[in-house]
């Protein structure tokens, strides 16, 4: 009789399996349902560490010359960051801004105005260093005239041909236009044309193709010193107040380590062979807030920053 009341081993195992199946069968759907009701976990965006560091230089002068002149910068940054470097000169400031916005460029050497436009258009970049010249992180813009155009002051530009560089240029558009306005010469009182680059403005004034033009004082001085234009054919008739210098800006989504190495590379740069083509004596820390004067200048002229592009 005892034998008939005892569970056989095989029966016991079958009962355990049945119980487990019932438990899992009941808890499984409930667990899945709970999981579906839980809010999804947002993935943290990972910082970028590009294999190649892509750098945009100012499109102020002929592109092949700019790249050739800055070969020393390329070698220097490769040594400091441990990454291959590509130098790019885009056709104009608009192309440069869009390349930065779309993250096709990791590090850019902007003009003050083009930097402000890029930030205004939601480019995810921050200014971190500006060049120093004469111990200062400012420079000026000049209005020049052909010596035979009969222009000795700003008011005599009325009715004449006035040339600017790129529409998004600080010292070859926004600032000289502001200088003219402050001198009583408004838009519409002269024949305006955009010539793209600072050196083209200077050469056009020299040749008499335009009567006057606006450009960066450092670029103008360099053209005179290197005898690229004839100093007897052009003259300065006005100079602006100090402008915050050209900033280097880096993409914010790069790794902290890479951003730190880039910043330190510029702040410690002392090689005159590298600094020369950048028309700099060195670089100093600068912040986005240092460019509020540029934004203010645009407001005074009634200009929407994003409308100052081609």
Q: Which residues contact 60 (CB under 8 A, 6 or more apart)?
A: 66, 111, 165, 169, 172, 197, 198, 199, 216, 219
The beta strands (E) that lie in 117-227 are given as 125-132, 138-139, 141-146, 161-164, 191-194, 212-216
Measured distance CA(31)–CA(10) in Å, rounded:
31
Rg for the chain, CA atoms, rounded: 31
Does residue 73 register a pLDDT over 90? Answer: yes
Q: Give the pLDDT score at 26.
A: 45
For 152, the token pair is 């000795």
Question: How far, in Å, CA of 143 to CA of 291, rounded?
Answer: 22
Q: What is the pTM of this model?
A: 0.71
**88 bridge partner residues:** 56
- Give residue 36's pLDDT: 47
> Domain limits of the chain?
53-133+245-308, 141-241
pLDDT exceeds cutoff 80 at 138: yes
Comparing 39 with 226, the larger pLDDT belongs to 226
- Interatomic CA distance for residues 279 and 218, integer angstroms: 7
Q: What is the CATH number of domain 53-133+245-308?
A: 3.40.190.10
Q: Do domains 53-133+245-308 and 141-241 have the same CATH topology?
A: yes
pLDDT for position 305: 77
Taken in order 274, 276, 277, 279, the sign of the CA dihedral is: positive
For the CA atoms of 11, 14, 19, 23, the dihedral, rounded to the nearest 10 degrees, stands at 170
User: Is residue 143's pLDDT more than 90?
Assistant: yes
Pick the CATH number of 141-241 from 3.40.50.2000, 1.20.1440.230, 3.40.190.10, 3.30.300.130: 3.40.190.10
Write the pLDDT tens digit of every residue in 15-45.
444 444 444 444 444 444 444 455 544 445 6
Question: Which pLDDT score, from 0 to 100, does residue 6 have?
Answer: 45
For the chain, the average pLDDT equals 87
Q: How far apart are CA 164 and CA 170, in angstroms?
A: 10
Considering only 112-116, 133-137, 166-170, which range has the smallest mean pLDDT? 133-137
Which tokens go with 128?
Answer: 């971190």
């Amino acid at each position: 009789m005892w034998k008939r009341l005892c569970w056989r081993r095989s029966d016991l195992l079958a009962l355990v399996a049945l119980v487990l199946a019932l438990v899992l069968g009941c808890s499984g759907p409930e667990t899945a349902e709970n999981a579906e009701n839980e809010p999804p976990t947002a993935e943290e965006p990972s910082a970028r560490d590009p294999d190649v560091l892509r750098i945009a230089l100012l499109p102020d002068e002929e592109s092949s010359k700019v790249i050739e002149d800055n070969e020393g910068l390329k070698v220097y940054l490769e040594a400091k960051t441990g990454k291959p470097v590509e130098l790019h000169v885009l056709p104009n400031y608009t192309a440069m801004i869009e390349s930065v916005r779309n993250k096709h460029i990791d590090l850019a050497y902007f003009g003050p105005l083009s930097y402000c436009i890029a930030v205004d258009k939601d480019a995810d970049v921050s200014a971190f260093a500006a060049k120093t010249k004469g111990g200062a992180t400012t420079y000026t813009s000049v209005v020049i005239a052909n010596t035979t155009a009969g222009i000795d002051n700003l008011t005599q530009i009325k009715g004449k041909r006035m040339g600017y560089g790129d529409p998004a240029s600080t010292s070859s558009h926004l600032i000289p236009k502001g200088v003219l306005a402050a001198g009583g010469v408004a838009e519409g009182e002269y024949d305006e044309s955009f010539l793209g680059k600072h050196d083209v403005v200077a050469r056009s004034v020299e040749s008499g193709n335009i009567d006057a033009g606006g450009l960066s004082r450092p670029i103008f001085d360099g053209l005179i010193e290197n005898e690229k234009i004839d100093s007897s054919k052009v003259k300065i008739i006005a100079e602006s107040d100090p402008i915050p210098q050209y900033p280097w800006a880096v993409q914010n989504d790069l790794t902290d380590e890479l951003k730190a190495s880039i910043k330190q590379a510029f702040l410690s740069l002392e090689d005159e062979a590298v600094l020369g083509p950048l028309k700099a004596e060195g670089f100093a820390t600068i912040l986005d807030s240092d460019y509020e004067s540029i934004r203010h200048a645009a407001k005074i002229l009634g200009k929407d920053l994003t409308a100052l592009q081609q």
